[in-house]
Amino acid sequence: MSYLNDKVIVIDPGHGGDATGAIGPTGLMEKDVNLKVAFYLREMLKPTGAKIILTRDADFDIPLGDRVKIAEENNADIFISIHHNANSARDTSINRTEIYCKYEFSSPSFDFAYILMRKFKEKFGLSVVPPLPAMYRVLKNPTPVSVLGEASYIINPEEEARLRTEEYQRLEASIYFEALLEYAERGFPRVEKFDVDKNGNIHAVLKSDFTVDLDTVDLNLDGVSLEFDVSRETNILNAALPENISNGEHRLSLSFRNIKGNISPRAVKTFKIQRPVSSFSITTFPEKTDGLALVTFSFFDALGIPVAEGTRVYIKLKDGRVLHDEKYVDRDGKLRVVVDLKHPEIYIYSDNFEGRGMVILSRKDEIVVTKVVDELSGKPVEGVRAEFKDGKVEYSNFGGFIFLKKERLRKLPCRLSKEGYYDRKILSHKDEVRIKPKFGGVLLDKKIIVDPQYGGFDKGLIKKPYHESLINLKFAYDLKKMLELGGAEVLLTRYDDETTIDEVERVKFIMDEAPDLLISVSHHNPYLVDDGGAFHYYRDAVSKELAEKAVKYLGEVLDLEKVKFADWSSYLMIHPKPPRIYVIPRNMKKFNIDHLTELKKEALAVFLAILDFFGFKKFRIRKGIAEKEGEILTDYPVVSATGIRTFTDQNGSYVIALFEGEKNPLENG
């Protein structure tokens, strides 16, 4: 009896047709080797009773999405994509095995991949990279076991010669075959009938060819373990949701291993708890008001728990007007509304609920408001700092409103400021004030990750008095500061030079944060000998556009004659989702960074590329020599009106960007 009997195995020979894949030094094409290995593997599998499907059985290309569709429509148990590698640098000395799994840890894919890794190491004798989670399109499928194997590097001359032979192709197919047999012999555990009923009771059946290892059962709610009972006779799991579970969306997940060590696919059940509004409370800001106020409602269910985010609530005033409001409660069960009340009563309506609240009005505390809005979009701006001449500070609240006691107007003027906007001075009270966003507002609400490569144990290139890890980090902080001037949220993959973070951890961090943009920076690469460069993943046209702009500004700002522009297929470039580039502003091996100004110039070039990428082009690059009364000014601050700061070098020269008609930056220094 074969443990693979009736299992559906989809074999995907990568590439095909015009998509040749990698090509060896003497012309051997990856697509051809992939197909031959797939044919040999199919023949080996036929006696097992498995149902074997090839995504292609001849020399034609098939879209990646269609390859996934084949696995989905056939309810595949196992999906194997066969490939032979190359790298962007065309380094013919590299030869190793790489195995990629669908992007989920502790999964059947990883169980199989580790068996495959061992088999490759035993039979091919190459170094094998431990299995890596990947976002390749063909791995984005529901098939429990999904791997992509890069058995070796076809661009290596010796490897290409071996791959030409039937013997070697059969050997590779036998590695996949033996790994499949070993994995199958450990069983295919799975979770069935996983559900939660209206009373909060959880039920599931743990199915396995071998005994369930109860110590490995993992039931969790939103990432927190739940207690459960499992019947050893029936393998039926029972549990219950917490009594006071919060309102809103929840994720229940369950997996287990059998005594042979194989893990089940993680079963996931999402559900929503949405108890109706039963009570509410009211707070006002300011606490004492003549009617102008920010009123915050907190809504609770019958258990005293905040109601679910998105609950629709209607507000009606007995007498007055609503200046600004929200329609749905937030994740804390709160809803805010700015009102001008003539009568203290407020009526609240929601599904199956009606209520009335009262606001205490104090006619002796006369309140005025100023609404702060974005000059370009007209949208209200919260969190604007208003500093008065007596040093006291107020902030704009929900709806952009600044609430002031009328007597505070005697303390004018005040200065309005907020990251991402130009400061504005207010000399007299206005009902509405417009503030101008920096850089056309293109960086507002953007999340950008800057990845300074190396760190910790790996210092990169060491060229005294510096090491590359530290240079990359300093660049990242300079770029971070510039981006924050425009209102962007900027995260670094590391914040010090002592922390070691491997590439998988960096990618996981990037995936979890889901930024709008990723900039990875280095100052040396053994495969790249140019003065500098910007690189992108070849399948991503948006990233290519960003890389092109980076090349343009690196050349202009740094006076580089040649800046390399090319695709780069590193793990970190392939798998994150946002537009992303790998930047080497200048090759540290070819020059000395002996002045702080140099790193600020590099950061400025990448910053301008980002602005251009997001659609803001109203700037010009200014270069000059700073001098005063005939004396060259060295280490002299040069600051644009937007806050971009640099320093003159030992020759008094500087490079800065001026935005929308800014004056000579030396006058701001």
Question: What average pLDDT score do residues 383-391 get?
Answer: 94
pLDDT band, residue 529 (cuts 50/70/90): low
- Element at 507 (helix H, strand E): helix 503-513
286-295, 435-444, 461-470: the lowest-pLDDT one: 461-470
CATH number at residue 212: 2.60.40.1220
C-alpha distances out from residue 165 to 153, 159, 161, 172, 431, Å: 15, 10, 7, 11, 81
* pLDDT for residue 328: 96
* pLDDT for residue 560: 87
Q: How far apart are CA 546 and CA 553, in angstroms?
A: 11
Residue whose pair of structure tokens reads 């393998």 in the numeric block: 235
Nearest alpha carbon to residue 38 among 10, 4, 18: 10
Q: Are residues 26 and 123 in the same domain?
A: yes
179-183, 224-228, 400-404, 593-597: the lowest-pLDDT one: 593-597
* pLDDT for residue 668: 52
Q: Are residues 611 and 649 in the same domain?
A: no
* pLDDT for residue 506: 95
pLDDT digits (tens, 9 = 90+) for 332-342: 999 999 999 99
* pLDDT for residue 1: 56
Q: How far apart are CA 263 and CA 478, in angstroms?
A: 46
Q: Are residues 346 and 268 in the same domain?
A: no
Residue 384 lies in a domain: yes
Q: How far apart are CA 381 and CA 396, in angstroms?
A: 7
Among the three residues 157, 185, 213, which one is the final residue of a domain in this structure?
185
Q: Residue 334's domain spans which residues?
A: 279-358
Residue 266 lies in a domain: yes
Q: Are residues 159 and 100 in the same domain?
A: yes
Question: What average pLDDT score do residues 160-174 get?
Answer: 97
Residue 583 lies in a domain: yes
Q: Are residues 410 and 544 in the same domain?
A: no
Structure tokens at 462: 């060491």
Among the three residues 160, 185, 210, which one is the final residue of a domain in this structure?
185
Q: Is the pLDDT of residue 592 over 70?
A: no
- Other CB atoms closer than 10 Å to residue 350's CB: what's the count? 19
Q: Is the pLDDT of residue 289 over 70?
A: yes
pLDDT band, residue 541 (cuts 50/70/90): very high
Q: How far apart are CA 232 and CA 527, in angstroms?
A: 58
Nearest alpha carbon to residue 230 among 244, 247, 243, 218: 218
Residue 3 lies in a domain: no
Q: Is the pLDDT of residue 16 over 90?
A: yes
Residue 646 lies in a domain: yes
Q: Are residues 64 and 112 in the same domain?
A: yes
* pLDDT for residue 667: 55
Q: Is the pLDDT of residue 574 over 70?
A: yes
Q: Is the pLDDT of residue 180 over 60?
A: yes
Structure tokens at 276: 């109706």
Q: What single string gives the DSSP state of each residue in 80-113?
A: EEEEEE--TT--TT--EEEEEEES-SSSHHHHHH
Nearest alpha carbon to residue 624 among 651, 595, 586: 651
Residue 301 lies in a domain: yes
Q: What single string gives the DSSP state of each residue in 370-383?
A: EEEEETTT--B--S
Question: What average pLDDT score do residues 530-559 get?
Answer: 92
Sheet holding 345-350, edge to edge: 314-317, 345-350, 353-358
* pLDDT for residue 48: 96
CATH number at residue 419: 2.60.40.1120
Residue 387 identity: E
pLDDT band, residue 539 (cuts 50/70/90): confident
Percent with pLDDT over 70 in the chain? 98
Q: Is the pLDDT of residue 669 over 60?
A: no
Q: Is 139 helix (H, G, I), strand (E, B) or coil?
A: helix
CATH number at residue 310: 2.60.40.10
Q: What is the dihedral of CA 373, 374, 378, 383, to 10 degrees?
A: -50
Among the three residues 336, 358, 380, which one is the final residue of a domain in this structure?
358
* pLDDT for residue 104: 87
Q: Are residues 453 and 415 in the same domain?
A: no
Q: Are residues 426 and 452 in the same domain?
A: no
* pLDDT for residue 596: 66
Mean pLDDT of the chain: 93
Question: What average pLDDT score do residues 546-557 get?
Answer: 96
Q: Are residues 98 and 226 in the same domain?
A: no
| Structural domains counted in the chain | 6
What residues form DSSP beta bridges with 433? 372
Nearest alpha carbon to residue 193 among 206, 183, 182: 206
Residue 441 lies in a domain: no
Q: Are residues 599 and 532 in the same domain?
A: yes
Q: Are residues 377 and 354 in the same domain?
A: no
* pLDDT for residue 483: 98
Q: Is the pLDDT of residue 70 over 90?
A: yes
Of 365 and 509, more confident: 509
Percent with pLDDT over 90 in the chain? 78
* pLDDT for residue 525: 85
Q: Are residues 463 and 596 in the same domain?
A: yes
Q: How far apart are CA 193 and CA 189, in angstroms?
A: 14
In degrees, to the nearest 5, what angle opens at C-alpha 299 toward C-alphas 294 and 305?
Answer: 140
pTM of the model: 0.91
* pLDDT for residue 666: 67
Q: How far apart are CA 415 and CA 425, in angstroms?
A: 4
